[in-house]
């Protein structure tokens, strides 16, 4: 099962390249908040298949998981700077990013022991459902950001003037 999982993981990692372009297009066409909501929903494709995976694996669920991995691999590096600059603007991007990366490292430090404890206890399925719950929390958080004005609106207008 693990050797098969590694093949699907490689497939998902390679699929991140086109997903980066897809999410970038959504960002350009519909905005950073909408693209971030789409990315958050796509994360479920990486979590739910693992939560419902039967012992020994299932090829269809592994393909769905690989798609979810592709969305994460292509989406996070694309959308993290987009949403950060949307909220804080280009001028304050580095200052905000410094704090974002520091704060996000705190829950990340608990993630591996968290998954390890569930795995050792034989309750990995529950861990994936907890992750799905955290995705719901992050989705609600991103949805509430819809009312935040675009901090780069002046820069975007400047870019449109250059195109004409």
Indicate the pTM of the whole model. 0.85
Answer yes or no: are the C-beta atoms of 20 and 12 closer than 8 Å: no
Helices and strands: H and E segment counts in the chain:
6, 0
Distances (CA, A) of 37 to 59, 83, 97, 146: 28, 11, 20, 10
Which residues 6+ apart lie within 8 Å of 42 measured at CB? 68, 71, 72, 75
Domain span at 38:
2-163
pLDDT of res. 59: 92
- Would you say 45 and 36 are in contact if contact means Cβ atoms under 8 Å apart? no
Could you report the per-residue pLDDT of 108-129, keeping only the tens digit for each? 898 889 989 999 998 989 999 9
Number of compact structural domains in the chain: 1
Overall residue count recorded for the chain in this entry = 164
pLDDT one-digit tens code per residue, 50-109: 999 998 889 999 999 999 999 999 999 889 998 998 999 888 889 999 999 999 899 889
Q: Annotate 16-43 with DSSP letters as a single string.
A: HHHHHHHHHHHHHHH-HHHHHHHHHHHH
């Amino acid at each position: 099962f693990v050797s098969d999982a590694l093949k699907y993981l490689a497939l998902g990692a390679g699929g991140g390249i086109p997903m980066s372009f897809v999410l970038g297009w959504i960002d350009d066409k519909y905005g950073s908040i909408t693209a971030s909501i789409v990315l958050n929903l796509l994360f479920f494709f990486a979590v739910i298949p693992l939560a419902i995976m039967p012992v020994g694996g299932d090829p269809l669920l592994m393909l769905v998981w690989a798609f979810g991995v592709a969305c994460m691999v292509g989406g996070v590096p694309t959308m993290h700077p987009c949403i950060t600059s949307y909220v804080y603007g280009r001028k304050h991007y580095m200052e905000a990013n410094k704090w974002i990366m520091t704060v996000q490292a705190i829950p990340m430090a608990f993630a591996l022991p968290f998954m390890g404890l569930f795995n050792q206890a034989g309750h990995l399925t529950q861990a994936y459902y907890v992750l799905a719950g955290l995705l719901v929390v992050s989705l609600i958080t991103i949805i509430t950001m819809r009312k935040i004005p675009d901090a780069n609106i002046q820069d975007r207008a400047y870019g449109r003037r250059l195109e004409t």
